[in-house]
Amino acid sequence: MILSPLVQWLLVAGASAIPHAENKRAATSDVTIYAYGSTIAGRPILADSSGNAYVSNAEVQPANLSSITWSISPKGTADWTVTLNSTNSTTTTSGVFYIIPSDDSYEPVGFVINGTTPSGTVTSGFLTYGSVVQYKADSVLTSEFWAEEIEGTDQYLIKWNADGSHKDGAIPVTLQTTGPS
């Protein structure tokens, strides 16, 4: 069947009007990211003044930790930025999310807030698969976030456990953009 030039043009014009998947997953701001694990039931990620990521099971947010507002690129095309909102200050601090994914690393996850990053830091490659935070390197998705309990507190330091091996005093957690219901 041979189509007339007018019909061909209409088909092309119609196809170009279809929304592309990229448009559905543009950068998103004002996001809260939650941790889920065996003893952590959907608690928001927080930060200390040094830029380390934490989660707390305390009913009231600890004074030493700040709440975080995220701007994320669900497709992993841009750095994930954060704004730290301190409960004991009117100032806000901005930063960039990072992990240290080198072989066998078990290092804190955090936010570059003063321009200085630990050795091996990666600030790009983060995306969401559904609502789950993933890191993509060499076309492989991984999520090796762990929460290490800070003894004597209801706080956990979030770490990246590159090889996924068991760590005493820590539990694997899933970071998600969906809060508890």
- In this structure, is residue 30 part of a structural domain? yes
Kindly state the average pLDDT of the residues 91-116.
90
> Looking at this protein, which amino acid is placed at residue 158?
I
Burial class of residue 43 (count of CB atoms within 10 Å of its CB; 0-12, 13-18, 19+): buried
Tokens found for residue 162: 């590159």
Under DSSP, is residue 24 helix (H, G, I), strand (E, B) or coil?
Answer: helix
Q: Reply yes or no on whether the pLDDT at 17 is more than 50.
A: no
- In this structure, is residue 16 part of a structural domain? no
Of 15-19, 40-44, 58-62, 134-138, the range with the lowest mean pLDDT is 15-19
For residues 105 and 85, give the distance between their C-alpha atoms in angstroms, rounded to a whole number: 29
Q: Reply yes or no on whether the pLDDT at 54 is more than 70.
A: yes
R_g of the chain, CA atoms, integer Å: 20
Structural domains counted in the chain: 1
For residues 21 and 89, give the distance between their C-alpha atoms in angstroms, rounded to a whole number: 40
- In this structure, is residue 48 part of a structural domain? yes
Q: What local confidence, expressed as pLDDT, does residue 22 receive?
A: 39
> Looking at this protein, which amino acid is placed at residue 1?
M
| Residue 137's CATH number | 2.80.10
> Distances from the Cα of 40 to the Cαs of 21, 55, 107, 135, 163, in angstroms?
33, 8, 20, 21, 22
Q: What local confidence, expressed as pLDDT, does residue 91 receive?
A: 59
Q: How many CB atoms lie within 10 A of CB 46?
A: 23
- In this structure, is residue 10 part of a structural domain? no
Q: Reply yes or no on whether the pLDDT at 101 is more than 90.
A: yes
Q: What local confidence, expressed as pLDDT, does residue 18 receive?
A: 39
HSE (side-chain half, CA atoms, 13 Å) at 150: 15
Beta bridge partners of 181: none
The more confident residue out of 88 and 178 is 178
For residues 166 and 80, give the distance between their C-alpha atoms in angstroms, rounded to a whole number: 28
Q: Which domain holds residue 137?
A: 25-176
Read off the pLDDT of residues 81-97 as tens digits, 9 standing for 90 and up.
Answer: 999 987 665 556 899 99
For residues 99 and 111, give the distance between their C-alpha atoms in angstroms, rounded to a whole number: 9
Q: Reply yes or no on whether the pLDDT at 115 is more than 50.
A: yes
Q: Reply yes or no on whether the pLDDT at 119 is more than 70.
A: yes
Q: Reply yes or no on whether the pLDDT at 177 is more than 70.
A: yes
For residues 88 and 58, give the distance between their C-alpha atoms in angstroms, rounded to a whole number: 17
pLDDT classification of 3: cutoffs 50, 70, 90 = very low
